[in-house]
Amino acid sequence: MSRHFDSLARGAIVTLVGIVASKFFLIIFEFALVFALGAAGFGNYMICVALIAVVATICQFGIDYAALQYMVIANERDDPGEAARCARIGVLVPTLAAILIALGFYTFSDFIALEVFRKPELVALFPVACLVIPLLAFSRSANAVLRAMRRMSDAVIVFDGLRNFILVASLPLMMIGAVTPLEALWAQVAANAAAVVFALYRLKDHLRATLGSFFDRRVFGEMFGFAKPLILWSVVQNASRELAIIIAGITLVDAEVGIFALAMRFVLVLNMTQNAVNAAAPAEFASLWSARNVEQMGYLYQRTARGLIVVSSVLALPMLVAPQALFSIFGDLYIPYAWILWPLLADKLLTVGSGPAGSVLIAGDRRPVLVMVACIRLALHIVVTLPLALAFGLAGLVAGAALRGFLTLVYTQYVLKRHFGFQAFTRKMFVVIADMVVAVIVGVLLMNGSADLLRFAGVALLSAAVFAGLLWFTARETLLEIIGPLRARLARRFGRRQG
């Protein structure tokens, strides 16, 4: 069991380092856009980004999960030819689908902008957004293939590392004149094109084939059969945040869309740990399921979930202690809306704490269950989030998003317990959550509603110290589980350098 957890931890640490750097670049770019475009302009830009992400995810048709699963199995059987065929299908099908869907989106872009979103400013933006869709679809497919090969560093670079670096590098050029959402989208085109070029270079051996053998019907049939139940789930799982922004674009005025999108970008910080584990977890759970070792799957899942919530809590603490201080950086307009971070972050923390549940269900051949989870999440978007947003505006949208996340979490944990006999929220998990709540309360009381940034920095550090101290006395085993793999990796790295 230790081998699988150590392997997952190593892959997650490598991925996390890359994701932290990548998301740091993205945050710089998008926060610069908040200042340059204002709330309304940033809102329009984020509507385009959200649509790009949702459409690119739809184009995967679950084939990215199938490619990862089948490539891991082929590698376990030491069959590089089969792995290469899976890689080619995994990249070819989503990319071709993305090109066709992008053309359809372009055809109806004016109608969508004017009749669905009722925002004329989007008419000039949607055609450029269409160019990004196939580029992003290819990058996401290549990312899945690289993860199956356990080349985590390359996977991070292809997924968004190189893209986000180029976005930041484009800022000086954009700042020469007046920055517009259209310029920001053209920067997305250039950045995603660079990621595609890098992916083609790193996968050239797996993608190289004669035209006749490039598309294997047998492999495609098997992979598509595996992927069909995952189509809806992959969209809801990977683009839930973007779906919320799209609902905001339909129901809110431009400035409120920008404010909500800014809050979701703060929540994005917690995605770093979740994405790092989700990138490394599928290969390990697939390996354990191939040996039908359910007990070790449960141990790995629960240990990973506890580690996720501890690390994510440390990242969330400053934002929970004084959201008004963070929002004050962008201007007085944003401060009255700082409260929306509390429900959004609380929901995200619980979701992160549920661990890589999707990876367990996919590896454990419970794809029909994932269809039900996806249907529930999508239905909650329609029957909870959308009506609340229409009735109560931004407050309703935030309440609906948080409620949707909580109800989905409850159902997901229920199906894990029913099908595998384990779930994430054990006594050890609740101890960690209680420690986190105490640390947040201490910080909020010390801030006393202040938006002073110096006071915020001191209180945030003190709250983190309180959380660490509580963990040491009440959940020391959990803390050591997190520190152990990191310390071992640093020791190996330092030993190689010394050698």
pLDDT tens column, 433-461? 999 999 999 999 999 988 899 999 999 99
Q: Is the pLDDT of residue 491 over 60?
A: no
Strand residue runs (E) in 144-261: none
Calculate what percentage of the chain has a pLDDT beyond 70. 86
For 203, residues 6+ apart whose C-beta sits below 8 A from its C-beta are 87, 91, 142, 145, 146
Least confident stretch, 48-57, 266-275, 301-310: 266-275
Mean per-residue pLDDT for 232-251?
80
Q: What is the pLDDT of residues 114-146, one digit of tens each?
A: 999 999 999 999 999 999 999 999 998 888 888
Separation CA 252–CA 246 (nearest Å) = 10
E strand or H helix at 496, and its extent?
helix 476-498
Residues 164, 161: Cα–Cα separation, whole Å: 5
Instruction: Find the range with the poorest average confidence among 170-184, 193-207, 380-394, 473-487.
Output: 473-487
| Residues 226-249, mean pLDDT to the nearest whole number | 77
Q: Reply yes or no on whether the pLDDT at 169 is more than 60.
A: yes
- What is the mean pLDDT of the segment spanning 229-242? 71
Q: What pLDDT sits at residue 212?
A: 45
Give which of 109, 464, 174, 477 is closest to 318, Cα–Cα: 464
Listed in sequence order, the residues at least 6 apart from 224 whose beta carbon sits closer than 8 Å to its beta carbon are 61, 63, 66, 93
Q: In 10 A of CB 308, how many CB atoms? A: 26
Burial, 284: exposed, middle or buried (Cβ in 10 Å; 0-12, 13-18, 19+)? buried
Structure tokens at 228: 């069909």
Q: How many residues does the chain have?
A: 499
Q: Residue 6 pLDDT more than 70?
A: no
Mean pLDDT for the chain? 82
Whether 312 has a pLDDT exceeding 80, the answer reads yes
Dist CA 336 CA 116 (whole Å): 29
Residue 317: which residues within 8 A CB-CB, separation 6 or more?
A: 436, 439, 440, 443, 460, 463, 464, 467
Q: What is the pLDDT of residue 211?
A: 41
Q: pLDDT-derived band of residue 495, with 50, 70 and 90 as boundaries?
A: low
Q: What is the pTM of this model?
A: 0.81
- Model confidence at 104: pLDDT above 50: yes
CA–CA separation, 173 and 331 (whole Å): 24
Better pLDDT: 353 or 6: 353
Tokens representing residue 380 in the block:
């909650």
- DSSP code, position 307: H
What per-residue confidence (pLDDT) applies to 354?
79
Give whichever of 78-82, 253-257, 369-373 has the largest mean pLDDT: 253-257
- Dihedral over Cα of 470, 475, 479, 484: its sign: positive
Lowest mean pLDDT among 37-46, 205-214, 436-445: 205-214
Per-residue pLDDT tens digits for 174-201: 877 778 999 999 999 999 999 998 888 8
